[in-house]
Amino acid sequence: RYSPDGSAEFNWRMGWWVSLPDAALSARLRLQVYDDTSFGSFNADRLCAAADLNIRAMLDDALMHGEPIVKRKQPVSLRHPSYPEIDTRLQLALELVPESLALSRVCMYGKRGYELTQDQDYVLPPPFRPAVFSLVNPSPFFNYTFTKLANSMNFQAMSVSLLLPLVPLVLQFIAWTPWQWYAAGSALGVAVFLRVFLLEQRRQDAILGQQKERAAKAAEQPSEDPSQHAARRGIFHSSSASAAAND
């Protein structure tokens, strides 16, 4: 929420018990990201994207060696099942710990993952989250805006400075390279560009086709009479009231 570019940090830890081996256990981890549009009510939140991760190799390693298995933070791409144009990305770290070791460690979950009372290896840094502008206390908004701008400029400056030592080597390589190599590289670059352009065009056509199909299905649905809708709502609410009374 309050993020103009859709990016934000939350640093949220979750945990659950897993019994190995378990034939009924599905070796996948389902991730779902929701947009908090209901201000706390989960039922009204909108699904942004979902993904299934295959963790069979991780479970097999834990069962075979009996030691903690740690997967460092990695980027994960998620997609919406009905809206392929929505691009959602997050970073995820996984850890599988034996029961004896898990009981001997102090690890907090959710917002308590930032507390210093837990083991040092499990203390999460507080998330760098957007802040809404307020006339009463505008400092959080300006702190977030200027800090984000400074971080972006610092990252760009570091990226450019890492390339500066390579400039003499690039100039020397250009001076020694025959022109035939440039011609072959240019032709290959044009072929790759055309390939990427055609794939992106197909993707956009597929997205547009799905949008038109959803619009056509919505237009084909018959509009219902308001009186019938009101009557149905009355029956539904009365049935709910009687069911609650029976309980």
Give residue 219's pLDDT. Answer: 77
At 9 the pLDDT is 76
Banded pLDDT at 127 (limits 50, 70, 90): confident
| DSSP states of 181-240 | HHHHHHHHHHHHHHHHHHHHHHHHHHHHHHHHHHHHHHHHSPPPPHHHHHHHHHHHHHHH
Highest mean pLDDT among 84-88, 95-99, 235-239, 243-247: 95-99
Whole-number pLDDT of residue 39: 54
Of 12, 25, 11, 17, which is closest to residue 103 (Cα–Cα)? 17
Write down the pTM of the prediction: 0.57
5 pLDDT band, cuts 50/70/90, is low
Q: Could you read off the pLDDT of 9-21 as tens digits, one per residue?
A: 788 888 888 888 7
| 187-210 confidence digits (pLDDT tens) | 999 999 999 999 988 888 888 888
Q: Is the separation of the CB atoms in 90 and 79 below 8 Å?
A: no
Comparing 245 with 68, the larger pLDDT belongs to: 68
pLDDT over 80 at 35, yes or no: no
pLDDT digits (tens, 9 = 90+) for 209-222: 888 887 787 777 66
**46 in Cβ contact with 35 (< 8 Å):** yes
- Mean pLDDT throughout 139-152? 86
pLDDT of residue 213: 82
